[in-house]
Chain A
């Protein structure tokens, strides 16, 4: 499990408009690029200080590469980070107010308490 790295992906993609659009348009390619080039970057540090040991599990990589927010929830990704990024990417595809958010919730309707642990 590398919940921290999944959260780092969601966090860094959400806060950069260009990366948000890139991830919307090419999820698998963006995840591959990001894991190779960006996953180890400590924020505010030069590339010489790149972390050497961070990587996704197969399940995490697949969930991210397929825009599978249900799997991300089940893996314990931080729900606020996932939701915020999904709003940025997909709210535009719905015509009704909060349509995206309600669809997002409906796809999680099978989830029961307690929710997966989001501790990192």
Chain B
């Protein structure tokens, strides 16, 4: 069976790529620390030596639209073009071409359907920054095949938070039952508190630092029961009007299970709290940590 070698849950900040490309004398004051934390985080994936990446994200009204909106969708294509014109325009994101793993996509769809998730699928999917941001941070060579999984955290009515956790658990079961010799990592991206298009947007911190602190605790500790007890579709409106993206973190907690994260790091920026978590379900499959890994995390 396939080996699940790493589970990563990360915020996706579309400004990171452009910030990381700036010459030091033009970069903002927070850039060096941000880039350093990302380098450390990248190593947590590198040392797991994955062969294929299951990428969980959310289309931002790019290809998925209100005339035909899936709740959960799996890409099944040999290749994926990536990033959209308004992401190039707004964030300076590069266009990318990523390989797919159709065999794992097909297996994910068949097994997901049989395990109670009526997954939608796409044979021609241009993926967006919810998936390309983590590619650019933790696998910038973009050299591994992917299986993209999109969730609807954007266009109500949304699935309940419990459903995201359940889907995460199911994704893990499916990977661990996949008849393959490959090493699989699951990487999901979402948000902590976030406001976009409202009065609290682009403040000096994320819109709700208290929520962010609690969220980091829930995720770091693998406290699935705690997060489910405290987070509802209604409650997520309070920390910021785009905070439902936190449910993708909850999905990743479902993948990771009741486990403390092996790497947990965060960085308060203008506008958001960035946060980076990695779990190793099978530590015996890892390479030794490189010198890049710092005491900032537990890896």
Contacts and interface: CB of A to CB of B under 8 A. Distances in A.
Contact of A80 (B67, B85, B154, B270): B154
A78 B241 CA distance: 10
Contacts, number: 75
Interface residues on B, range: 20 to 34
Interface of B is mostly: loop
A7 B66 contact: yes
B62 to A, nearest CB: 8
B266 to A, nearest CB: 22
Nearest to B90: A87
Contacts of A88: 86, 89-90
B46 interface: no
Contacts of A104: 197, 201
B237 interface: yes
A14 B86 contact: yes
Q: Is the interface of A mostly helix, strand, loop or mixed?
A: helix
A82 interface: yes
A119 B67 contact: no
Interface in B84-126: 84-86, 89-90
Q: Which residue, of B197, B201, B203, has the highest number of chain A Cβ atoms within 10 A?
A: B197
B155 A120 contact: yes
Interface string B235-274: 0011001100000000000000000000000000010000
A115 B241 contact: yes
Interface string A105-120: 1101111011100111
B199 A120 contact: no
Contact of A105 (B85, B198, B237): B198
A79 interface: yes
A19 B35 CA distance: 36
Interface residues of A, number: 35
Contacts of B85: 15, 17
Given A79-B196, A118-B156, A120-B155, A105 B61 contact: no
Given A8-B66, A88-B90, A119-B157, A15 B198 contact: no
A113 B201 contact: no
Contact of B197 (A8, A17, A80, A106): A80
A24 B83 CA distance: 24
A13 B90 CA distance: 15
Interface in B23-62: 60-62
A106 B203 CA distance: 11
Contacts of B154: 80
A101 B202 contact: yes
A56 interface: no
Given A73-B198, A83-B201, A105-B199, A43 B65 contact: yes
A109 B203 CA distance: 12
Q: Name the residue among B90, B155, B157, B202 with the largest chain A CB count within 10 angstroms.
A: B202
Interface of B: 60-62, 65-67, 84-86, 89-90, 154-157, 196-203, 237-238, 241-242, 270
Given A87-B90, A88-B86, 17 more contacts: A11-B65, A15-B84, A15-B86, A17-B89, A79-B196, A79-B198, A80-B196, A81-B61, A82-B197, A88-B89, A88-B90, A101-B202, A105-B201, A108-B199, A113-B237, A114-B237, A119-B156
**Top 6 A-B pairs ranked by shortest CB distance?**
A79-B197, A83-B197, A108-B199, A101-B202, A119-B156, A105-B201
Interface of A: 4, 7-8, 11, 14-15, 17, 42-43, 73, 78-84, 87-88, 98, 101-102, 104-106, 108-111, 113-115, 118-120
